[in-house]
Structure 1
Amino acid sequence: MLLTRDTLPKTIPDIAALDELLCRPSQPLIDDLNKIDGDIMILGVAGKMGPTLAGLAKAAVPGRRVIGVARFSEPGSKAWLEARGIETIAGDLLDEAAIKRLPRVQNIVFMAGRKFGAEGDLSLTWAMNAHVPALVAQAFRDSRIVAFSTGCVYPFVPVDGKGADENLAPNPSGEYAQSCVGRERMFEYFSRQFSTPGRLFRLNYAIDMRYGVLHDIATKIVAREPIDVSLGHVNFIWQGDASAQALRCLAHCDTPTSPINVSGHEILAVRDLAARLGARLGCEPIIVGREEPTAWLTDTSKAVKMFGLPIVDTEQLIAWTTDWVARAMPSLGKPTKYEVRDGRY
């Protein structure tokens, strides 16, 4: 079954159903991947989004090789990928020799990076977020490269505007986001050097039932914990839509590489989201703080023009999240830290 708005389930009963939904392709994804030749390799496949992005790619183009590369330090993801026909290669991307041993495929999705705990070892954060991209960009100079980045490369923008668009120069707070600018600059530099087509995929807050902005707010409501609205506005996108747009970017690369903002097209108030979630959960949110006039927000007009609106809208995400949290279903235990304003993660 192809993914369309009409085929979305009312609820997601368990993790197996969640994985199936995240790996279900749409016809536009299939069409875009059929416009390009070659196999697909995902570097840093073992993170939150990587496994189901790989599964989505394989479901969309089952006749091609989809290869996932990671250290696979946590149990389970390697077997999960291989059960879905995805080849796996264990390797450390900080090891230049390991990168040189990887097969040369035509399509690279670069997802490796370091965020959570970034403040604990800033030199490692810079090595992962800037040095590794330089190694990969040189090794795969003849491939298309879609490199995951973040909307955090932008400065704060007014909450009553449209968000930061791709023409706004990066000027972020905190070394994590600064290192992400370093990542982008490495891919940009070598793309210019070698005429490597690519995209810098500036993603703001993907959402899965097990993590994300809505999950964070809903679990605080249920636990009767305060919700700080000082960073009071966000935009976010269903992880399946984000993964599909990343893969579709392979058919929409620029030479040299260029940024594209990916998130939900709406700017949403945290206070309002808490009220909507609380109403469904039958629990009044505890709100603290006052909304600041600026936040990390992106204008996704370019992505909407290229890909259309996300298939899963905000109301559906709220319904799925409240059902999941009300049943005390599993969480990844990885808060988004969307409320952080100083860039220290």
Structure 2
Amino acid sequence: MNSPHGLPEVIEDEAQLEELLITPSAKLIELAATLSGNLVILGAGGKMGPTLAARAQRAIDQAGAAARVVAVSRFSDPVARDWLDRRGVKTVAADLLSQDALDELPDADTVVYLVGSKFGTRQNPSHTWAVNTIAPACAMRRYPKSNFVALSTGNVYPFTPTDQRGSIESDPLAPVGEYAYAAVGRERIFDHFSRVDGTPVAMIRLNYATDLRYGVLTDLAVKVFRGETIDLTQGYFNCIWQGDANDLILRALPLADSPPRPINLTSLETFAVREVAQTFGQLMDRSVRFSGQESETALLSNASRCAELLGAPATPMDQVIRWTAHWVSQDAPLLGKPTHFEVRDGAF
């Protein structure tokens, strides 16, 4: 049975989930028809990369376009590479910190840049800085004439009052913690090469994609299901269905500009941890335990510009909440990679 939005009422297994995540929108297929040459996706082996690459390839195939997706990663997880190969995506293994390795990659008309490092920053900050600053420099040197969409993060912003709509793209960057500083460093590298070489870049500041196996909603649902206490200090958040995030990232390609154009990518709504947790409790027939009180500030982004340029996310988050409750209560597979969205000191 489908919802009024044409979406399934529940998602039963990973095959159904992945099919939903890689099905392109009509607008993405329309954009794909204009593409030619290689669409190179750097960092395609992470949490978002495989489904983004497969979604792009399917859009190209359905549009009958003269383009091809090339998914590039170290592919330390061979499962991700095999998953992409089976879906007709060309894969290339490469060390994205090596200029020599990037120089061997195929030429590209368009590049989607997904490389980043966040978790483990406290233990190994130099690695985080290397991945977030050296890798983009290598990519921009390799592809100075290509159109880029580069993934950044809402962590480049300061915390904002929870009774407002969050940071907008023109706000000064004021990162909290070393990971966030390194994320600003990544943006500065893109900005530098964009200005020097005229390379167009759309800088996507993403706040919390979720796909049932991971994400803020999954973190909360798991805690509710297991009867764990939920800390309310970080009491509000934004998030977006990963399928919508991937679709909008790809559709941002025509918005690339020099100097880079920043775009916040997340939900138009702000969600309250307390309310979402209580909803999960009702859906999963669990009591909910809280500790602490909501702070007056949170890490929030205002995605109005994205909605004006590309349209609002297509998937209602109340539907994603219901999907997540069913998924977690059925003991379906999880990635075991918590977002740590509750962290307020920037130490990841």
Q: Which TM-score band applies after superposition, normalised by the shorter structure?
A: over 0.9
One-letter identity of the residue aligned with 2:152: S
Whole-Å separation in 1 of the counterparts to 2:300 and 2:190: 23
Whether contact under 8 Å (2:264, 2:301) holds in the other structure is yes
Whether contact under 8 Å (1:159, 1:295) holds in the other structure is yes
Whether contact under 8 Å (2:98, 2:138) holds in the other structure is no
Aligned to 2:47: 48
Query: SS at 2:155's partner residue?
Result: helix
Whether contact under 8 Å (1:29, 1:244) holds in the other structure is yes
One-letter identity of the residue aligned with 1:246: I
Normalising by structure 2, report the TM-score. 0.96
Whether contact under 8 Å (2:38, 2:107) holds in the other structure is no
Whether contact under 8 Å (1:153, 1:178) holds in the other structure is yes
User: By how many angstroms is 1:38 displaced?
Assistant: 3.1
Match of 1:76 among 76, 79, 84: 79
Aligned to 1:15: 14
Deviations 1:237-291 (CA, angstroms, capped at 9, x unpaired) = 0000000010001122122212100001001110011011111011111111110
Query: SS at 2:219's partner residue?
Result: helix
Whether contact under 8 Å (1:22, 1:56) holds in the other structure is yes
How many residue pairs end up in the alignment?
A: 343
Q: How does 1:281-296 map to 2 (within 5 A)?
A: 281-296=284-299
From the superposition, tell whether residues 195 and 329 of structure 1 become closer, same or farther in structure 2 (CA, over 3 Å): same
Q: How does 1:255-266 map to 2 (within 5 A)?
A: 255-266=258-269
Whole-Å separation in 2 of the counterparts to 1:287 and 1:311: 31
4+ residue stretches of structure 1 with deviation over 4 A?
none
One-letter identity of the residue aligned with 1:259: P
Whole-Å separation in 1 of the counterparts to 2:5 and 2:226: 34
Match of 1:234 among 229, 234, 237: 237
Match of 1:254 among 253, 257, 261: 257
User: By how many angstroms is 1:39 displaced?
Assistant: 2.3
Does 1:25 find its partner at 2:28?
A: no
Match of 2:316 among 306, 313, 320: 313
Whether contact under 8 Å (2:255, 2:261) holds in the other structure is no
Whole-Å separation in 2 of the counterparts to 1:42 and 1:54: 7
Aligned to 1:57: 56
Does 1:199 find its partner at 2:198?
A: no
One-letter identity of the residue aligned with 2:234: L
Query: SS at 1:338's partner residue?
Result: coil
Aligned to 1:129: 132
Whether contact under 8 Å (1:226, 1:286) holds in the other structure is yes
Whether contact under 8 Å (2:157, 2:173) holds in the other structure is yes
Query: SS at 2:306's partner residue?
Result: helix
Query: Kindly, what percent of the aligned residue pairs are identical?
Result: 44
One-letter identity of the residue aligned with 2:149: V
Whole-Å separation in 2 of the counterparts to 1:90 and 1:145: 20
Does 1:274 find its partner at 2:273?
A: no
Aligned to 1:88: 91
Does 1:323 find its partner at 2:323?
A: no
One-letter identity of the residue aligned with 2:77: E
Query: SS at 1:76's partner residue?
Result: helix
What is the RMSD of the two structures over their aligned residues, measured on CA atoms? 1.3
Whole-Å separation in 2 of the counterparts to 1:140 and 1:277: 45
Whole-Å separation in 2 of the counterparts to 1:5 and 1:76: 35
From the superposition, tell whether residues 5 and 235 of structure 1 become closer, same or farther in structure 2 (CA, over 3 Å): farther
Aligned to 2:301: 298
Query: SS at 2:40's partner residue?
Result: strand
One-letter identity of the residue aligned with 1:116: F
Query: SS at 1:66's partner residue?
Result: strand
Query: SS at 1:109's partner residue?
Result: strand
Query: SS at 2:122's partner residue?
Result: helix
Does 1:186 find its partner at 2:189?
A: yes
Q: Which runs of 5+ in 1 are unaligned?
A: none
Match of 1:151 among 146, 149, 154: 154
Q: Which runs of 5+ in 2 are unaligned?
A: none
Query: SS at 2:111's partner residue?
Result: strand
Deviations 1:121-161 (CA, angstroms, capped at 9, x unpaired) = 11110000011111111211100111100000000001000
